[in-house]
Amino acid sequence: MMRRLRLAIPNKGRLVEPTVTLLRDAGLVFEAGERALVARVQNFELDILFVRTNDIVEFVCDGVAELGITGLDLVAESGSSVTQVRKLGFGRCRLTIAVPNDSPYRAPADLAGLRVATSHMNLTKRYFAERSIPVDVIPVSGAAEVAPRLGLAEAIVDLVSTGSTMVVNGLRPIEEVFESEAVLLANPKALEQDGAVLAQVETMLGATLAARDRKYLMMNAPETKLAELEDLLPGLESPSIIPLAHKGMVAIHSVVEADAVWSLLPRLKAAGASGILILPIEKLVP
């Protein structure tokens, strides 16, 4: 009998929606109630624990959950010994040094002797220590962007994705400290004991993510145009060519990057393709 594993995911904040969507897209069936702490996955040996984004690394490190999904910045900040199984492609952001627009500071070295407010104490201290820039790191639990205005610090180190929070607060980025995105974590001991099930979860999520970026293209074309069309369609390996009942005509099937589809279509048509179908891919295991 397989042991039921626990996956800790954020219960609040910006990582909730993309995390729950990924798990559902992966085919896991569960109820995510507003206040539920645990959800039982109905079609897989997994329980989902809804916890604070900030607590997930600790939960996985302590073995309260075998698996977790949280931001890579929080993993790096904690310095805990959890295994990063894979990046998940959402929750992308950059831990960035920023200063008020009207300040004279242009580079991290200009901040020597000054105060830097952040909720990422360890990453910030390490960054400045590695460059031998002496700064006073001021801990804040959130909203670091208001620290300069409150006179708490001359600079901040905070997460930025679009940059609009910085703009609204009259701040200008001067340097990137760390690049982050959501990651799947595992407890190292659990990886040894339950490696097979954990690998299943990884494959499940990986196949779901890989499928999101690709489309399945089907089209008809005269056999004489095959070489030209094949050049346009790298596919996963090479496109499949299927003879059609109509002599001299073939069907071509190929997997392409989703982002490339729109620029590809006119070129395929110009090269002789017709009846082009674009289909979603549900799961993809390379």
Q: Using CB under 6 A as the criterion, which residues of the chain lie in contact with ligand AMP when the complex forms?
A: 10, 12-15, 53, 71, 73-74, 91, 93, 159-161, 180
- C-alpha–C-alpha distance, residues 156 and 173, integer Å: 9
Task: Give the DSSP H/E element, type plus range, for residue 93.
Answer: strand 93-100
Q: How far is the CB of 53 from ligand AMP (least distance, A)?
A: 4
Nearer to ligand AMP, 7 or 207 (CB): 7
Closer to ligand AMP by CB, 14 or 212: give it: 14
SS3 category, 125? helix
Give the residue with the Cβ less far from ligand AMP, 15 or 156.
15
The vertex-201 CA angle with 123 and 31, nearest 5°, equals 95
84 contacts 70 by C-beta, under 8 angstroms:
no
Q: How far is the CB of 113 from ligand AMP (least distance, A)?
A: 28
Distance of closest approach, residue 14 Cβ to ligand AMP, in angstroms: 4
The span from the CA of 121 to the CA of 138, in Å, is 8
Q: How far is the CB of 205 from ligand AMP (least distance, A)?
A: 17
State which residue has the least CB distance to ligand AMP: 71
Give Cα separations from 214 to 167, 236, 281, 283 (angstroms).
34, 10, 7, 10
- Interatomic CA distance for residues 68 and 89, integer angstroms: 15
Q: How many residues does the chain have?
A: 286
Nearer to ligand AMP, 160 or 249 (CB): 160
Closest to ligand AMP by CB, 154 or 158: 158
CB of 73 to ligand AMP, least distance (A): 5
- Nearest-approach distance from CB 97 to ligand AMP, in angstroms: 15
| Cα 31 to Cα 43: distance, rounded to the nearest angstrom | 12
Residue (68 or 71) nearer to ligand AMP, CB: 71
